[in-house]
Amino acid sequence: MPDIVCKGISLGYGGKVIAEDISFTVEEGDYLCIVGENGAGKSTLVKTLLGLESPIKGEVLVDSKISKNSIGYLPQQTELQRDFPATVWEIVLSGCGKSLFFGKKQKAIATENMKKLGVDNLKDKCYRELSGGQQQRVLLARALCAAKRLLLLDEPAAGLDPVATNEMYHLVMDLNKQEDITVVMVSHDIKAAVRHAKHILHLGDGEMFFGTAHEYSHSKVGIRFLNSDKCGRCGE
Amino acid sequence: MISYYFQFDFVRYAFLVGILIALCSALFGVILVLKRFSFIGDGLSHTAFGALAVATVLGVSNPLYVVLPVTAVLAVLLLKAGQKRKIKGDASLAMVSVGALAFGYLLLNIFPASQNVAGDVCGTLFGATSILTLSTFDVYLCVALALVVTALFIILYGKIFLITFDENFARSMGIHTGAYNTVVAIVTAVIIVLAMNLVGSLLISALVVFPALSAMRVFRSFKGVVISSAALGVSCAAIGILGAVVSSVPVGPSVVAVNIIAFLLLFAVGKALKRE
Nearest CB to B161: which of A80, A94, A152?
A94
User: Is the Cβ of A80 closer than 8 Å to some Cβ of chain B?
Assistant: yes
Over the stretch B203-252, which tens digit does the pLDDT of each residue have?
A: 888 899 999 999 999 999 999 999 999 999 999 999 998 998 888 888 88
pLDDT band at A18 (very low <50, low <70, confident <90, very high): confident
pLDDT band at B129 (very low <50, low <70, confident <90, very high): low
| Single-letter amino acid code for the residue at B60 | V
User: Is the Cβ of B165 closer than 8 Å to some Cβ of chain A?
Assistant: yes
pLDDT value, residue B41? 78
User: Is the Cβ of B85 closer than 8 Å to some Cβ of chain A?
Assistant: no
- Measured CA to CA, the distance from residue B117 to residue B108 in angstroms comes to 7
User: Is the Cβ of B159 closer than 8 Å to some Cβ of chain A?
Assistant: yes
To probe the interface with B, which of A66, A74, A100 has the most B CB atoms within 10 Å? Answer: A100
A15 φ, ψ (degrees, to nearest 5): 80, -5
Question: Which of A4-13, A200-209, A227-236, B48-57 bottoms out in mean pLDDT, i.e. has the lowest?
Answer: A227-236
What does the pLDDT average to over B167-187? Answer: 88
Whether residue A85 and residue B222 make contact (CB cut-off 8 A), yes or no, is: yes
Residue of B nearest to A46 (CA): B172
The three-state secondary structure class of B209 is helix
pLDDT value, residue B142? 84
Buried b (16+ CB within 10 A) or exposed e, A156-186: bbbebeeebbebbbebbeebbeeeebbbbbb
Selection from A217, A234, A215, A208 nearest residue A40 by Cα: A208
Q: Which residue has the higher pLDDT, B12 or B213?
A: B213
B3 φ, ψ (degrees, to nearest 5): -65, -25
pLDDT value, residue A65? 75
pLDDT band at A219 (very low <50, low <70, confident <90, very high): confident
Question: Which of B23-32, B43-52, B111-120, B158-167 bottoms out in mean pLDDT, i.e. has the lowest?
Answer: B111-120
Query: Which residues in chain A are closer than 8 Å to B161, comparing Cβ atoms?
Result: 86, 90, 94
B247: Cβ–Cβ under 8 A, 6 or more apart, which residues? Answer: none
pLDDT value, residue A53? 84
Whether residue B222 and residue A86 make contact (CB cut-off 8 A), yes or no, is: yes
pLDDT value, residue B202? 78
To probe the interface with A, which of B159, B172, B176 has the most A CB atoms within 10 Å? Answer: B172
User: Could you please report the per-residue DSSP string of B123-155?
Assistant: HHHHTSSGGGG--HHHHHHHHHHHHHHHHHHHH
User: Is the Cβ of A97 closer than 8 Å to some Cβ of chain B?
Assistant: yes
Selection from A231, A159, A158 nearest residue A194 by Cα: A231
Q: Radius of gyration of chain A from Cα atoms?
A: 18
Query: Which residues in chain A are closer than 8 Å to B169, comparing Cβ atoms?
Result: 73, 75, 95, 142-143
Query: Which residues in chain B are closer than 8 Å to A96, comparing Cβ atoms?
Result: none
CA dihedral A204, A206, A210, A213 (to 10 degrees): -60
Q: Which residue has the higher pLDDT, A2 or B239?
A: B239
pLDDT value, residue B118? 75
User: What Å distances lie between residue B120 and A83, A201, B116, B139, CA to CA?
Assistant: 42, 67, 6, 21
Q: How many CB atoms lie within 10 A of CB B174?
A: 12
Query: Which residues in chain B are closer than 8 Å to A50, comparing Cβ atoms?
Result: 171-172
pLDDT value, residue B222? 95
pLDDT band at A218 (very low <50, low <70, confident <90, very high): confident
Average pLDDT value over all residues in chain A:
85
Q: What is the separation of C-alpha A53 from the centre of its chain, rounded to a whole number of angstroms?
A: 16
Are the C-beta atoms of B128 and B78 separated by less than 8 Å? no
Whether residue A99 and residue B221 make contact (CB cut-off 8 A), yes or no, is: no
Q: How many CB atoms lie within 10 A of CB A70?
A: 12
Over the stretch B178-211, which tens digit does the pLDDT of each residue have?
A: 899 889 889 988 888 888 877 787 788 889 999 9
**From the CA of A66, how many Å to the nearest CA of chain B?**
13
Whether residue B165 and residue A84 make contact (CB cut-off 8 A), yes or no, is: yes
- Measured CA to CA, the distance from residue B127 to residue B192 in angstroms comes to 13
Whether residue B168 and residue A146 make contact (CB cut-off 8 A), yes or no, is: no
The CATH number of the structural domain formed by B8-275 is: 1.10.3470.10
The three-state secondary structure class of A53 is coil
Question: Which of A133-142, B37-46, B131-140, B161-170 bottoms out in mean pLDDT, i.e. has the lowest?
Answer: B131-140
**From the CA of B171, how many Å to the nearest CA of chain A?**
7
Helices and strands in chain B, H and E counts: 13, 0
What does the pLDDT average to over B105-129? Answer: 76
pLDDT band at A69 (very low <50, low <70, confident <90, very high): low
pLDDT band at B160 (very low <50, low <70, confident <90, very high): very high
User: Could you please report the per-residue DSSP string of B49-69?
Assistant: HHHHHHHHHHT-SSTHHHHHH
Query: Which residues in chain A are closer than 8 Å to B224, comparing Cβ atoms?
Result: 85
Question: Which of A79-93, B30-44, B144-158 bottoms out in mean pLDDT, i.e. has the lowest?
Answer: B30-44
Q: What's the full length of chain B, in residues?
A: 276
Residue A78 has pLDDT above 70, yes or no: yes
List the beta bridge partners of residue A61.
A5
Over the stretch A163-208, which tens digit does the pLDDT of each residue have?
A: 888 889 999 998 899 888 899 999 888 888 888 899 999 888 777 8
Nearest CB to A98: which of B154, B166, B173?
B173
**From the CA of A72, how many Å to the nearest CA of chain B?**
8
Whether residue A99 and residue B220 make contact (CB cut-off 8 A), yes or no, is: no
Residue of A nearest to B212 (CA): A85
Whether residue A75 and residue B169 make contact (CB cut-off 8 A), yes or no, is: yes
Residue B30 has pLDDT above 90, yes or no: yes
pLDDT value, residue A85? 93
| Single-letter amino acid code for the residue at A185 | M
pLDDT value, residue B108? 85
Query: Which residues in chain B are closer than 8 Å to A87, comparing Cβ atoms?
Result: 220-222
Element (H, E) at B103: helix B89-110
pLDDT band at B114 (very low <50, low <70, confident <90, very high): confident
A221: Cβ–Cβ under 8 A, 6 or more apart, which residues? Answer: A202, A204, A207, A209
Q: Domains plus CATH for chain A?
A: 1-66+180-236 (3.40.50.300)
| Widest Cα–Cα separation across chain B | 61
Residue A228 has pLDDT above 70, yes or no: no
pLDDT value, residue A225? 80
Q: Which residue has the higher pLDDT, B88 or A163?
A: A163
Residue A92 has pLDDT above 90, yes or no: yes
Helical H segments across A32-123, by residue range: 42-50, 88-94, 104-116
What does the pLDDT average to over A134-159? Answer: 88
Whether residue B169 and residue A98 make contact (CB cut-off 8 A), yes or no, is: no
To probe the interface with B, which of A70, A98, A126, A145 has the most B CB atoms within 10 Å? Answer: A98
- Measured CA to CA, the distance from residue A168 to residue B220 in angstroms comes to 26
Selection from B175, B107, B188, B84 nearest residue B145 by Cα: B188
pLDDT value, residue B275? 67
Q: Around A127, how many Cα atoms within 13 Å sit in the side-chain half-sphere?
A: 25
Residue B87 has pLDDT above 60, yes or no: no
What does the pLDDT average to over A21-34? Answer: 90
Helical H segments across A71-199, by residue range: 88-94, 104-116, 132-146, 162-178, 190-196
What does the pLDDT average to over B156-174? Answer: 90
